[in-house]
Structure 1
Amino acid sequence: MATNPTTKKTAAPEAEESTEAVTTEARPERPRRAPSLVGPPLGEGQEPVTVTLSHHLRIDGVDFTPGAQINVSPDYARRLRGQGFTART
């Protein structure tokens, strides 16, 4: 097996610290917003339904906590109600 005889150059510690500070300031942490419509798309002529969740639910990689209000298609709202994921308010 062949080895590479060249050595890597390392940057000065001061340069690394200043680079980290710039990248941290350049990318502030943003809260994730819930999409306007969650789950399957609306059918033709359907209007979205707002439901309040009674349990933790993960849809399309997004976590929704109990009490969160989400907009879903009427068919999906019916399925969530049947499975007990919506609050009785």
Structure 2
Amino acid sequence: MNEESLLTFPCTFAIKAMGKTSPELDLLVVEIVRRHSPNIGEGAVSSRPSKGGNYTAVTVTIEAHSREQLDAIYLDLNRSPHILMTL
């Protein structure tokens, strides 16, 4: 079965990951994403703490080249014990 993608590649894509707040969370998320998308541009990473400050959402905007690339990024992020959720 051939699924039609709603995305046209290459495209700009925001990867979001949430984890417990720690000084290393941003670096961890960027390190994982960079394995699959080495050219992360300046200003491509942002983070936002939750209302209570216990969790942080990290967004990394990349130039995505394929569905397989995005799937690999999400698999790696979800394998990390520091990442609680991805969007």
**TM norm. shorter chain > 0.5:** no
Q: What is the TM-score normalised by the length of structure 2?
A: 0.30
The one of the two structures with greater contact order (alpha-carbon pairs below 8 A, sep at least 6) is 2
